Amino acid sequence: MADAVGHLTARSWAAVGLLLLSVALTPLAAQTAPAPLQAVRFSVFASRPLTDVAFVPRARAEPQAVKFLPNARSPRYEYRGGMPLRFVDPDTRAVVAEASIPADFRDVLLLFLPLEKASAAADGKLRYQVAVLDDSPARQPVGSLAILNLSGLALSGTVNQQSVTLKAGFNPPIPSAGAAQVRLTTMAKQRTYQSYEGKVSVGRQQRGLLILYPPFTPGSFEVQSRILLDQPAAAGRK
């Protein structure tokens, strides 16, 4: 059972960049075209909590540190400004990541993916690539489980008794209030290998997001995972 992520190797992350087909992946090149102001709410997550990330919530404001949690979305932050949303090192103020959020997104989950050192050096020393996921209740309602497949593997199996074939990136939510038993396998060299097996408990007023990362060990087919639970109505209240 792969319920926890220790850390991801640079080789593992090399595969991730090609997999985010249903999330808005931010370009790493600097954007110079002027853009209208946007107002968005966002939370963040990374496979390992980061401590070197802050953002400026509005014009002429001081940088605000972003708190990453090990097993959950961060607290929700508000931003009003142009795109891309830039994240900075709180000590040096150097830009460490950028997120280009589509104009029609109001609530987003930002997934921080570490860049290899060579890639970062070639691209203005950004430390992280950011995947933007529409996190609105319209995209995923309460009482459901969604799977974000970043594993690099072609996975299929069952969620309870429902058959699933996962595409890369975000997969449609499955109604699953209560305990959902997830079993996933992959094919290689005409053999079937178990990649994930676990139980996800989602309350009636909660949403579950199962994130599948590449295997930690090269040649392995057992994916790493994180399970994020939230209550969107509560998160949106002041």
pLDDT in tens, 192-202: 999 999 999 99
By CB atoms closer than 10 A (0-12, 13-18, 19+), residue 216 is middle
Write out pLDDT tens, residues 99-154. 999 999 999 999 998 887 645 444 568 999 999 999 999 999 999 999 999 999 99
Q: What value does the mean pLDDT of the chain take? A: 86
In this structure, what token pair is assigned to residue 59? Answer: 């014009």
So what's the pLDDT on residue 94? 95
Distance CA(209)–CA(227), nearest Å, equals 6
In this structure, what token pair is assigned to residue 165? Answer: 């074939």
**DSSP structural state of residue 143:** T
Distance CA(151)–CA(37), nearest Å, equals 35
Decide: helix, strand or coil at residue 12: helix
With a cut of 70, say whether residue 1 has pLDDT above it. no
Distance CA(145)–CA(123), nearest Å, equals 36
So what's the pLDDT on residue 116? 74
pTM of the model as a whole? 0.81
With a cut of 90, say whether residue 174 has pLDDT above it. yes
- Name the least confident of 16-20, 50-54, 167-171: 16-20
Strand partners, 212: 149, 225
> CB 108: neighbour CB atoms within 10 A?
26
Peptide bond into 137 cis (omega under 30): no
The band of 33, judged by pLDDT with boundaries at 50, 70 and 90, is low
The letter for the amino acid at 61 is A
- Name the least confident of 1-5, 55-59, 61-65: 1-5
